Amino acid sequence: MGIDPSQVRGVYPILYAFFDEQGKLDRDLMRRQTLACVKHNPHGIAALGLATEVTKLSTAERRQVMEWLVEDVAGACPIAITIAEPTVEGQADFAKAADALGVDFVILQPPPVGGLPEAEYVRFFGSVAEKVSIPVAIQNAAAYIGVGLSIDGLKTLNRNHPNVALLKGEGPAIEIAGLVDATDGVFRVLNGRGGLEFPDNLRGGCVGMIPAPDCFDRQIDLYTAFEDGRVEDMEAIYREILPVIIFCMQSVQNFLCYGKRITALRMGLSLDRVHDRAPAQQPTPHGLEWLKRYAGELGAF
């Protein structure tokens, strides 16, 4: 059945994909990452989005990541899974598998076909949504994925398929606030972008964020301060972590390169445990120096 969409809120760190020297998913590091997240009582944990390098994973590997996550979370918090299969049947089958494992909601990415009329993407998402029984979110991230729905398209999708009641955005806070206003409250909206503009996203009506794990523990503190009305504390935490977010969020490849390594150091790992699956951006000497400084300032998880 999944989670009641009205209960979705807070910080859902989305896992990085850790690989071993042979380029295979590293079971030990994936478990350690999940347990590091669980330790800080997140509102939920997500996987298989851009941070998890989903386009580099086979369908079997994607399912493996999902199964490991469910096993390691062991009911400690809700789980969200992004689905990036290229067909309606592929996404529906993946969503059904997620439901069977106890995943709380799924986030659908658009198919990897650009330039079509919007009605085709609305039809695609609707065809998936009508085949599954758990809540569905849409990843509306045209700047990163190349396809996004308009306000009218999103409202049509929700009107025809009420289980599509969540949105995962990837945009400036002012755009997200406009989206929240224009959709008349039918969606609970979470943003990403590593937590950039986190306070303003909350002020604009976002119910939470789905950032990578780099500094998610401090972002949980920020969200709690917001809920408690401690505005000065919220702003102080944001000022503390903003340099790290800016350092990582120059591009998707940049945060995969540096954010993953910051996360590894905070997990107590040496950087020689971090391996990339090609093609991947490699850290520069300056980048290595700076990411070590940021990890040291944040401290261990």
- pLDDT per residue, tens digit, the chain (301 aa), is 799 999 999 999 999 999 999 999 999 999 999 999 999 999 999 999 999 999 999 999 999 999 999 999 999 999 999 999 999 999 999 999 999 999 999 999 999 887 889 999 999 999 999 999 999 999 987 667 767 889 999 999 999 999 999 999 888 999 999 999 999 889 999 999 999 999 999 999 999 999 999 999 999 999 999 999 999 999 999 999 999 999 999 999 999 999 999 999 999 999 999 999 999 999 999 999 999 999 999 999 9
d(CA 291, CA 296): 8
Return the SS3 of 79: strand
Strand order, beta sheet including 79-83: 10-11, 208-209, 188-191, 164-169, 136-140, 105-108, 79-83, 45-47
Between CA 161 and CA 247 the distance in angstroms is 39
Task: Give the whole-angstrom CA distance, residue 147 versus residue 112.
Answer: 8
Could you tell me the pTM of the whole model?
0.95
Among candidate residues 68, 110, 95, 76, the one with its CA nearest the CA of residue 2: 95
On the question of a cis peptide bond just before residue 162, with omega within 30 degrees of 0, the verdict is no
| Contacts for 205 with CB less than 8 Å, ≥ 6 apart | 176, 177, 180, 181, 189
Ordered by where they begin, the domains of the chain are 5-213 (3.20.20.70)
